[in-house]
Structure 1
């Protein structure tokens, strides 16, 4: 990336942790592995918050003992609200967006059909329900719904019960739900183990815990700087998920690696492969091309054909990369190496072989 462009984007690494333990004004904390407790880990990559605070850089590490990925040091829990401004929750009220939500919610609901139909109304707790769209969708399918949402920036919900505490702190500890869902939530929290334990306590025997998380075994999550740092704090593989489930009384029933709910596209896969495989060099954040939006901002361009042509001249590899996405993503899904995975775990039953 051109030096002048990085400076104008605010992407220069000039806000590393200082003597007070801060990065760009945020108080940072060092943590041990949430899964196994080990204090030994290896740095994997470093990148900034590209969405809201581009001057703040963070390091993703991998536990040497169990392989869990996590941001370390990370912003303390009390600091996190600033990384979730109101615009984080705002979606355009367009027809295409509504169609997208319907397709996504239909795919999510299909996982809950694993519970079957016994004539009674099932009860769902959706953790990280944001503005409440998914619980409302499930209510139209006959479910009793409740939610958990801690953000002060999300819309106020009045049509069903919402707990505003952290999930592990809600005032319930008895089996009350047939299903608990957490769609792209566990990567955001400071203590994933506490969430697994709480879900185990709140589910009825045979109830389902369905959750979607980043796949740290994927190229997109591990190498291409596609994660939403520092809102994403933890990164999981099938093996680390299995360990979490075993420690908290669950049996893993299903893993879906794919893009039908959320996407983590392999942006800049081509540039990564050329640099690492052909040139034999390390691929760092400084090698990541500007996105088309960043390029227009740097060069004060309006969206249109002229800007698109200039961007293609700036980074032809990015244009070719985008054209290859369908093939690359299909291959990754077939190999179970796509950027996100959905897991279905059952509470308190022995898996049938």
Structure 2
């Protein structure tokens, strides 16, 4: 994919860690944005060094974190049900497993699970829950998993083409790949513009639309089976976006924008975040 330096979609700021500014370059054909300048592999870990990065903790310190953890429990059960709808129980690999709660729930339902997670703190928490971990994606055997999941992880991956090749290699023929990512064509993204929290630069190196997911995976002979909305993401993202925009979360306004985004999604098929269910042909 080619990204021209002058084809800037929007300029955004890292509100949660560094305060640095970045540009998002657009490839119109693929419907995808790329964060630039792109941090080096050595620089990237420093952008995750924040107590507010709650996907790497089990924190319930604040009202916001308590709501996040409560919604997460419901969402996890929904995710386990989703993969069970598309595949019989077998081997499940979760890339970017975080603190391991999804794999704990899947394991209880009879899945044989393995996690991959680069963050040491999150991995330590997950291991304390009894979740086994692999060390490296390259060491996973060919055609060894019935289902591979990446819940809000693909946007963090430095080498996108390499990641897709590895998914193709590891997934069994006829196996299922589940990808969840934010959608920059949603109503809340358009409303909040440069304050949209799901841009989350530079941790999010890529910003996807349904077009980009369909095109990229199709090139690897991986077909799109279904797109499902992540209903709660619009509210969560709107709360953070309000904080970035005004300095306060403004829960009433955030709820209104989140609700409006879901209504927009029903009619336009563009939700705040999408789950893509794909099949390895």
Deviations along 1:122-180, one digit per CA (max 9) or x if unpaired, are: 11000000121111110000000001111233241262331243x3xx31241001100
Instruction: After TM superposition, give the deviation of residue 38 of structure 1 in Å.
Output: 4.9
The equivalent of 1:75 in structure 2 is 39
The equivalent of 2:195 in structure 1 is 225
1:336 paired to 2:269: yes
Note closer, same or farther for the CA distance 1:41–1:179 as it changes in structure 2 (3 Å cut).
farther
Instruction: After TM superposition, give the deviation of residue 111 of structure 1 in Å.
Output: 1.9
Q: Find the aligned partners of 1:268 and 1:182 in 2 and give their Cα distance.
A: 22
Q: 2:71 aligns with which of 86, 95, 100?
A: 100
In structure 2, stretches of 5+ residues that fail to align are none
Mapped contact 1:216–1:339 kept (Cα < 8 A): yes
Q: 1:244 aligns with which of 216, 219, 236?
A: 216
- The 5-angstrom pairing of residues 161-310 of structure 1 reads 161-165=132-136, 167=137, 170-221=138-189, 223-226=193-196, 227-260=199-232, 265-266=237-238, 289-292=245-248
Q: SS at 1:77's partner residue? A: coil
Larger Rg: 1
Mapped contact 2:183–2:209 kept (Cα < 8 A): yes
1:139 paired to 2:107: yes
The equivalent of 2:21 in structure 1 is 57
1:346 paired to 2:279: yes
Instruction: After TM superposition, give the deviation of residue 219 of structure 1 in Å.
Output: 3.8
Instruction: After TM superposition, give the deviation of residue 343 of structure 1 in Å.
Output: 0.1
Q: SS at 2:9's partner residue? A: strand
Q: Find the aligned partners of 1:290 and 1:261 in 2 and give their Cα distance.
A: 20
Instruction: After TM superposition, give the deviation of residue 58 of structure 1 in Å.
Output: 1.0
Instruction: After TM superposition, give the deviation of residue 319 of structure 1 in Å.
Output: 7.4
Note closer, same or farther for the CA distance 1:164–1:81 as it changes in structure 2 (3 Å cut).
farther
Aligned length: 265
Task: Tell me the TM-score normalized by structure 1.
Answer: 0.67
Instruction: After TM superposition, give the deviation of residue 197 of structure 1 in Å.
Output: 1.4
The equivalent of 1:285 in structure 2 is none
CA RMSD of aligned residues (A): 2.7
Q: Find the aligned partners of 1:261 and 1:244 in 2 and give their Cα distance.
A: 24
Q: 2:85 aligns with which of 105, 110, 114?
A: 114
Note closer, same or farther for the CA distance 1:261–1:290 as it changes in structure 2 (3 Å cut).
closer
Mapped contact 2:224–2:278 kept (Cα < 8 A): yes
Structure with the largest fraction of helix? 2
Q: Find the aligned partners of 1:135 and 1:174 in 2 and give their Cα distance.
A: 21
Which stretch of structure 1 is more off in the superposition, 85-94 or 239-248?
Answer: 85-94
